[in-house]
Amino acid sequence: MSGGHSSYTPNTGIEKWIDARLPLPRLMYDSFVAYPVPRNLNYAYAFGGILAIMLVSQILTGVVLAMHYAVDTGLAFNSVEKIMRDVNSGWLLRYLHANGASMFFLAVYVHIFRGLYYGSYKAPRELLWILGVIILLLMMATAFMGYVLPWGQMSFWGATVITGFFTAFPIIGDPIQQLLLGGFAVDNPTLNRFFSLHYLLPFMIAGVVILHVWALHVTGQTNPTGIEVKSKTDTVAFTPYATVKDAFALCLFFILFAYFVFYLPNFMGHPDNYIQADSLKTPAHIVPEWYFLPFYAMLRAITFNIGPINSKLGGVLTMFGSIAVLFIVPWLDTSKVRSAVYRPWYKLFFWLFVANAIMLGWLGSRPAEGLYVIFSQLGTAYYFGFFIVLMPLLGLIETPRRLPNSITEAVLAKNKSGGQPVGVAAAPETKG
């Protein structure tokens, strides 16, 4: 799937002239038209394309918003209101951008869960997975800095709390915080830094996305069976088959997106952010955007000291560790079977992991007290336990179901059995 002779044939004189000097049309044709993909891809695989479209949408709306935004603590809040009230279609641009961030994270979390379920991180796709985690980190940094720009109460105090986490690190913590803030407190230099980085990082994300797609085309697309392509009958051309499927999924996704933009534009925001930032008035509960809540819950779950590590440093290390552990997932999973479709125990623990992540998100929105803290600690333990304990252990003790010999066999068997994957009804076979 990753190589072979190009099937592109330039038809006109201008196409031949361009192809001989800069074969960009050939590259696009080979990558997005004739590129072979497994014939059994389901709609979970459409989120990669959805994410690419959302990235373009965020960059375009962000660039236009930046033309009307004032990077000054005395003007920022009112400039956002001016965009909403006076700029032509400014309300639409802002709601597209603000809700687009939430839709972006919704799609990326589904994309990650799909990768974990179908084993898309396994060899030879380790670098593909690592590039994806880097994109996630860049997205988080971009979203956090963008949340500060409206200069509302939650923007100001969110920046104060999050940048304050760096002071937990001995020696280097204070210099890092002062470098981010441009001083000793959140003020105009902070807003300038965050605006500059918020504008820059999406283009860095686009660069890593190009590497991500390149790595995908080198190793080839995975599929629900987890079996590599063995013959031409296992694949179909990307266009029109995958293109039409992705386009349909994109339309459904945009319907959901449009519903929030036009009917519930502030549903995923916080009402305190419509109050101008005031350093003398602290909100009752400082909470981040919903897509950071699971990590925020894990940060607050560490309420005790561990040797020389105090609770603040322990929480910060836990939060960063929850992302860092994703980098080593390809080496934590010891199973030789890629897809959870044929791994009954892994499938069970995976869905418990999804439920646990949703629970942590809810706990992150609650006050850090009583049972909320206890359940956050249990959820944090299962989050890390899934990667560090269950993944290595299940690969050694689990007996997977029988795998089909090829993708084509799986497709034919699924059609005959009325949708049930091949091997599911078969007698378990000990893994060799």
Binding-site residues for heme b, in ranges, read: 97, 111, 198, 212
Distance, in Å, from the CA atom of 71 to the CA atom of 66, rounded to the nearest integer, reads 9
CB 25 within 8 A of CB 18: yes
Burial of 407 (0-12, 13-18, 19+ CB in 10 A): buried
Report the run of H or E that residue 237 belongs to, with start and end: strand 235-237
Q: Which residues make up each annotated binding site? A: 97, 111, 198, 212, 217
Measured between alpha carbons, how far is 223 from 117 in angstroms, rounded to an integer?
11
Binding-site members for a ubiquinone are 217
SS3 309: strand
Answer whether 105's CB lies under 8 Å from 291's CB. yes
The DSSP line for 244-306 is HHHHHHHHHHHHHHHHHHHT-TTTTS-GGGGSB--TT---SS----GGGHHHHHHHHH--S-B
